[in-house]
Amino acid sequence: MSNPPLVTVFGSLHYDIMVDAPDRPRKGETVTGHAWHPKCGGKGGNQAISAARAGVRSAMIGAVGDDDFGTALLANLMRAGVDHSCVRVARNTGSGMSVAIFDAEGDYGAVIVSGSNLTLGEADIASAAEVVTQTAVLLLQNEVPEAANIAAARAVKAGGGQVVLNAAPARKLSAELISLVDILVVNVIEAEFLAGLAVVETRTGAAEAARRLVDLCPTAIVTVGGEGVAYRDRSGEAFALPAIAVNVVSTHGAGDEFVGALAAALARGEVMRAAIAAANAASALLVSTPEADRSGI
């Protein structure tokens, strides 16, 4: 009997400090906040947990430091049902961490310190060979060295798996990595960076960006927050779906929830329109749920 499909995430793990404030500070300004709390995150960790929450097998390949943050990050993956056997503890290295400041509207700005995530490389892929060979969908992001992403993509493609790159945060991508990506997922800011054009924050603007981005990758998905999402592939198939109307509490993690749920749906064999609709629904549920209540989603 074959194993159920596996989504593997190769990427970052960050211990996040979340601060609630009336506004985000401008340069040189001090703002008085009213609450803070810790949260386990990193785009990689968030997406692995999102995939597990969507009901598929989920595995994480990453690295944490030999510190309290690393211990908390591993425990969080375990609680979420993510296979963390391929998360390495980097000795004498601090875990990745971030500080995110949320304003009264639920929008945020963040600073990350990559720490142990920058130690990831080809050796981590080699030591995760058993997981890699079972992978149906590999998720990558831009919070680890690109050489490591290339090694992961190569290994999964060799085994017949699909490679999804969430090109966030925005950075220049090498031709080698682009050649290995099956599906590119970006928001408006990242789409502007990669497509080299201003993107109007509407579904029409996202659709135009997706049309340009299929010159890079076979399939492009561009999200536009509360406006929705646009899809296009090289066969000419194109569509856009509106966002689901909800009362937004916090937008933090919405993109990661979308990507993880999308990968889960693709691993189950759903067609793209259904997969994107499922990702839309998962993201809408997340943004309408207070941060303190999200672990049970």
% of the chain with per-residue pLDDT over 70: 98
pLDDT band (50, 70, 90) for residue 251:
confident
> What's the mean per-residue pLDDT of the chain?
94
Q: Which residues make beta-bridge pairs with 59? A: 8, 83
pLDDT tens-digit readout, 90-141: 999 999 999 989 898 877 788 889 999 999 999 999 999 999 999 999 999 9
% of the chain with per-residue pLDDT over 90: 83
Give helix 43-53 / helix 254-267 axis angle, nearest 10°. 50
> Which of these ranges, 8-12, 112-116, 251-255, has the smallest mean pLDDT?
251-255
Dist. CA 60–CA 7, nearest whole Å: 9
Dist. CA 243–CA 220, nearest whole Å: 17
Phi, psi of 8 (to 5 degrees): -110, 130
Dist. CA 178–CA 142, nearest whole Å: 13
pLDDT at residue 80 is higher than 80: yes
- Find where tokens 């919070």 sit: 143
Q: Is the dihedral of CA 263, 264, 269, 273 positive or negative?
A: negative
Instruction: Please pick, among 16, 83, 124, 256, the residue that the annotation labels catalytic.
Output: 256
pLDDT at residue 163 is higher than 80: yes
Phi, psi of 35 (to 5 degrees): -165, 160
Strand, helix or coil for residue 174: coil
pLDDT band (50, 70, 90) for residue 76:
very high
> Which of these ranges, 21-25, 108-112, 166-170, has the smallest mean pLDDT?
108-112
Residue 278 confidence (pLDDT): 97
Enter the CATH code of domain 6-23+35-181+244-290.
3.40.1190.20
Identify which has the larger pLDDT, 291 or 121: 121
Dist. CA 148–CA 206, nearest whole Å: 29
Active site residue 23: no
| Residue 94: partners with Cβ closer than 8 Å, 6 or more residues away | 65, 67, 69, 113, 115, 116
pLDDT at residue 4 is higher than 60: yes
Residue 2 confidence (pLDDT): 67
Count of residues for the chain? 297
pLDDT band (50, 70, 90) for residue 248:
confident
Give the CA distances from residue 209 to residues 55, 138, 188, in Å, rounded to whole numbers and listed in that order: 31, 24, 8
pLDDT band (50, 70, 90) for residue 150:
very high
Residue 200 confidence (pLDDT): 87
Q: Are 74 and 86 in contact (CB under 8 A)?
A: no
pLDDT band (50, 70, 90) for residue 296:
low
* For the chain, domain boundaries: 6-23+35-181+244-290
Residue 199, Cβ density class (10 Å: 0-12 exposed, 13-18 middle, ≥19 buried)? buried
pLDDT band (50, 70, 90) for residue 249:
confident
